């Protein structure tokens, strides 16, 4: 089968993020892909102290809610994700696959000490220029260049599915302090048949060569193998159609509808698009 991406990769079974022998190749391809993508963001960098456009929207939606959320608001996947990050002062946070750096900058504005890593040189440069006090490191999540028991929190925002899960979780276990927390939000895909049917749609995959949604059974298996306690919460059914403009404008209502629907009919969770994972050492 010809897959609808220029690499002709089956993203449902992407070998680049499952075969350790392909790790170096994956990271080279990922770095090249993200170097090109991040370059598009450099014109947003400001020198007047004001937030960039990509930060402004996130701050407007979640800035105040981060410190004052309530259970009724947690149908929103981003707010639920943020609600799981510990609030204690002085904790050390590591973000994996920082990309545009939106999460690292948000947490830094909230007073957290954050180190971010990415395989992309452009991402590290963008992080330094967009947040002069930041500490970006060019590295991969499968081989973290940090001492054991260095961080209270390890997190990523829609990046975990780009990593070799087995290798990454082993490293997260190593660098987390005892009692430390991992918080991740990522897309999930549980039906290979559905993935193959999607290949009929004449639209290209807008996914990097190391990407492809996580498979829930694989996630659970690797989390348990790494020795973590864990919780997983599912989000988005109808609201996954937000690529269509007429759906996107009702996104907030639809996310709330989806949340209620999955609570009422738990079997629907297997069709969810996004999950939020909390792991504890």
First to last CA, the chain: 41
Task: Check residue 246 and give its pLDDT.
Answer: 63
**Listed range (56-65, 120-129, 167-176, 249-258) with the worst mean pLDDT:** 249-258
> pLDDT confidence of 238, banded at 50, 70, 90?
confident
The mean pLDDT of 126-153, rounded to a whole number, is 95
Domain that holds residue 134: 11-44+52-62+76-280
Looking at the domain assignment, is residue 149 inside a domain?
yes
Q: CA torsion 72→74→75→77, rounded to 10°?
A: 170
Length of the chain as a residue count: 281
Task: Check residue 88 and give its pLDDT.
Answer: 84
- Stated as kind and residue range, the H or E segment containing 102 is helix 102-109
Number of domains in the chain: 1
Q: Which pTM value belongs to this model?
A: 0.92
> pLDDT confidence of 248, banded at 50, 70, 90?
low
Looking at the domain assignment, is residue 153 inside a domain?
yes
Distance of alpha carbon 119 from alpha carbon 42, whole angstroms: 17
Region for 179 from its dihedrals, namely left if φ exceeds 0, alpha if ψ lies in -120 to 50, beta otherwise = left
> pLDDT confidence of 72, banded at 50, 70, 90?
low
Looking at the domain assignment, is residue 203 inside a domain?
yes
Looking at the domain assignment, is residue 171 inside a domain?
yes
Give me the DSSP letters along 229-259: EEEEEEE-SGGGGTTSHHHHTTHHHHHHHHH
**pLDDT above 90 (res 160):** yes
Distance of alpha carbon 272 from alpha carbon 21, whole angstroms: 32
């Amino acid at each position: 089968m010809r897959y609808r991406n220029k690499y002709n990769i089956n993203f449902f079974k992407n070998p680049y993020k499952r075969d350790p022998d392909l790790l170096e190749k994956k990271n080279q391809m990922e770095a090249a892909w993200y170097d090109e993508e991040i370059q598009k963001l450099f014109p947003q960098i400001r020198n007047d102290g004001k937030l960039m456009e990509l930060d402004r929207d996130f701050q407007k939606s979640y800035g105040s809610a981060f410190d004052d959320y309530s259970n009724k608001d947690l149908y929103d996947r981003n707010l639920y994700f943020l609600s799981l990050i510990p609030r204690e002062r002085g904790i050390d946070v590591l973000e994996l696959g920082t990309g545009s750096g939106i999460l690292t900058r948000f947490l830094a504005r909230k007073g957290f000490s954050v180190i971010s890593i990415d395989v992309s040189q452009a991402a590290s440069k963008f992080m330094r220029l967009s947040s002069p006090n930041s500490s970006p490191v060019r590295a991969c999540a499968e081989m973290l260049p940090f001492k054991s028991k260095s961080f209270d929190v390890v997190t990523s925002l829609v990046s975990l599915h780009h990593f070799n899960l087995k290798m990454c979780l082993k490293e997260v276990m190593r660098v987390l302090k005892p009692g430390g927390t991992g918080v991740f939000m990522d897309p999930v895909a549980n039906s290979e048949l559905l993935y193959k049917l999607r290949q009929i749609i004449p639209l290209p995959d807008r996914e990097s060569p190391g990407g492809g949604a996580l498979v829930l059974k694989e996630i659970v298996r690797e989390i348990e193998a790494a020795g973590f306690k864990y919780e997983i919460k599912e989000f988005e059914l109808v609201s996954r159609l937000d690529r269509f403009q007429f759906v996107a404008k009702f996104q907030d209502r639809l996310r709330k509808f989806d949340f209620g629907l999955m609570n009422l009919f738990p079997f629907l969770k297997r069709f969810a698009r996004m999950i939020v994972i909390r792991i504890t050492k």
